[in-house]
Amino acid sequence: MNQQIAHIALVVNDYDDAIEFYTKKLNFDLIEDTPLSEIKRWVLVKPKGNGHCCLLLAKAANELQSSRVGNQTGGRVFLFLYTDDFNKDYANLLLHQITIVRPPSNEEYGTVAVFEDLYGNLWDLIQPITQ
């Protein structure tokens, strides 16, 4: 059996603001933006590279969903973005004035920094140590 995670839903306030952040500031690719109704769209973004997993940008549709925007994991780091060039990607975060929650540190598994996305979700930027 071969399984993989295809998409991870990320609840957002606005499709276009989220697309702008992920494509212009984090340099993700916009994979798909398909209208499903007058208010709902199927929007997929993903980091550049070999990975297949995409973020499904899902606009909050009710009060409960809106309450989760920016805090889908109760304040824990939500997503882990691996890089092969930490310095370049960290400089890009600074260039785009993305909030750094924890500055770079060298850990046993690699170099890591924690940043916030446009809604306040926490991300790890990690350059893993290669074996």
Q: 29-35 and 7-12: which strand pairing?
A: unpaired
Domain that holds residue 100: 71-131
What's the whole-model pTM score?
0.93
Q: For residue 62, what pLDDT is reported?
A: 95
128 C-beta neighbours (distance < 10 Å), count: 15
- Is residue 45 within 8 Å of residue 55, measured between CB atoms? yes
**Mean pLDDT, contiguous 10-residue spans, the chain (131 residues):** 92 98 98 96 95 95 95 93 97 98 97 97 95 55
Q: For residue 51, what pLDDT is reported?
A: 85
Look up the CATH number of the domain holding residue 98. Answer: 3.30.720.110
Q: Are 130 and 77 within one domain? A: yes
Q: For residue 131, what pLDDT is reported?
A: 55
Look up the CATH number of the domain holding residue 43. Answer: 3.10.180.10
Distance CA 51, CA 22 (A): 16
Q: Are 81 and 33 within one domain? A: no
Q: Are 33 and 61 within one domain? A: yes
Looking at every residue in the chain, the average pLDDT score rounds to 95
Residues 50-73 pLDDT 10s = 889 999 999 999 999 999 999 999
Helices (H), 1-131: 15-20, 63-68, 86-95
Residues 2-11 pLDDT 10s = 899 999 999 9
Q: Are 85 and 99 within one domain? A: yes
Number of H helices, E strands in the chain: 3, 8
Structural domains in the chain (count): 2
Q: Are 100 and 53 within one domain? A: no
